[in-house]
Amino acid sequence: MDHEAPHYLHQLQVPGEERYVSLALVNTCFTLSHGAVDLLDDAEAAHLWLVRHALLPDRAALNGRQFGRLLALRESLRPLFEARASRAEPAAEPLATLNSALAAAPPTPRLSWTADGPHRADEPDTGNPAGAALSLLAEDATDLLTGSEADQLTECTAQGCARWFLRSHAARRWCTTKCGNRVRAARAYAARKGR
């Protein structure tokens, strides 16, 4: 663990982020006791986040336009997640943003041959690494929204937390035990104060 990094970088990973990097992208904006935190607050931070999630080579630059497209994708995912969770149709703009990111650098299908035999491999466009990262994030979000785990997609119900996660069971309402403990402590405090 990097002890020099700000403490908010050591936030507990929420269920589902290990399988869906698009979920981790949405959760880069959250609130702590001292205020709002945005892990993508500038192009350099966004570059670091993409590199840490193996979406962009360290040597590849992220310009202002690409940074803006990454933020637009992140902001479009939240209303799409909300629409999926409530079984409603999303607004046209977030859907268009996701589809634009899907087309940013679509992977090229290739036939690969390994010791196990031939198989299809979709290789990202290496000529446009930032576009490929956007396309991969959008593809990941599409897989999440259309896949078998989509019904488990839930927003944390703890006050002040806006992170999304995949429920492991129907009764789960909080993204982490930390949020659950905060809610329970607030309830206990309110009950004591009410007596």
Q: Is residue 15 part of a domain?
A: yes
Q: What is the count of structural domains for the chain?
A: 1
Q: Is residue 108 part of a domain?
A: yes
Q: Is residue 120 part of a domain?
A: yes
pLDDT tens column, 67-113: 999 999 999 999 999 999 999 999 999 999 999 999 988 778 889 89
Q: Is residue 2 part of a domain?
A: no
- Residue 192 has a pLDDT of 76
Q: Is residue 170 part of a domain?
A: yes
**Domain at 89, CATH number:** 1.10.3300.10
Q: Residue 136: which domain range?
A: 7-194
Q: Is residue 81 part of a domain?
A: yes
Q: Is residue 38 part of a domain?
A: yes
DSSP of 49-97, one letter per residue? Answer: HHHHTTSS-TTS---HHHHHHHHHHHHHHHHHHHHHHHT-PPPHHHHHH
Q: Is residue 1 part of a domain?
A: no
Question: What confidence tier does 12 reach under pLDDT thresholds 50, 70, 90?
Answer: low
**Region 56-76: what's the mean pLDDT?**
96
- Token pair for residue 46? 């966004």
